[in-house]
């Protein structure tokens, strides 16, 4: 089975919220873009959080710039793993990203939000005792495999707003 690797973090010194997924899915890996699957709700959820209705329609680099402007960073809990398809349940032989070191390097970081249960479980394990340095938020997955609708996910995602002010 082919080993799949995550992307570099998208952060800067102003990042206040770091959103961590698990490992990019097949569409994202093929496109070399975070949350590239058209049915993934990430860009619509974040658009609602930062009041940027145009966000999902922007070119990818402009979306990333808008996230950084809103003081949101992106990364993944898993650096690399073997996995058939895109399901988090199929992740095997996972090698972690060093979330604790990245988080410690962000001077304004206030919260780490995990996009889905797998990212939350793996990310907390990596942060260990350092997790208490930040507010930790477990968000319902934006993945199309997590079938509750966007309206049901929005209240949890809106919890990011106070950290961005």
Which residues are part of the catalytic machinery?
40
What is the rounded CA–CA span in Å between residue 127 and residue 132?
9
What is the rounded CA–CA span in Å between residue 115 and residue 29?
17
Only one residue has tokens 């922007």, namely 58
Phi, psi of 143 (to 5 degrees): -60, 145
């Amino acid at each position: 089975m082919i080993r799949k690797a995550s992307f570099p973090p998208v952060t800067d010194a102003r990042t206040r919220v770091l959103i961590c997924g698990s490992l990019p899915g097949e569409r994202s890996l093929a496109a070399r873009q975070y949350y590239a699957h058209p049915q993934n709700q990430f860009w619509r959820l974040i658009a609602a959080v930062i009041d940027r209705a145009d966000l999902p329609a922007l070119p990818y680099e402009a979306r990333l710039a808008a996230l950084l402007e809103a003081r949101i960073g992106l990364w993944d809990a898993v650096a690399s793993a073997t996995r058939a398809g895109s399901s988090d349940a199929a992740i095997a032989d996972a090698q972690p990203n060093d979330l604790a070191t990245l988080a410690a390097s962000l001077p304004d970081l206030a919260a780490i939000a995990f996009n889905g249960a797998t990212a939350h479980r793996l990310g907390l394990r990596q942060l260990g005792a350092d997790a208490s340095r930040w507010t930790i938020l477990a968000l319902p997955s934006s993945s199309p495999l997590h079938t509750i609708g966007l309206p049901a996910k929005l209240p949890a995602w809106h919890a990011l707003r106070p950290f961005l002010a």
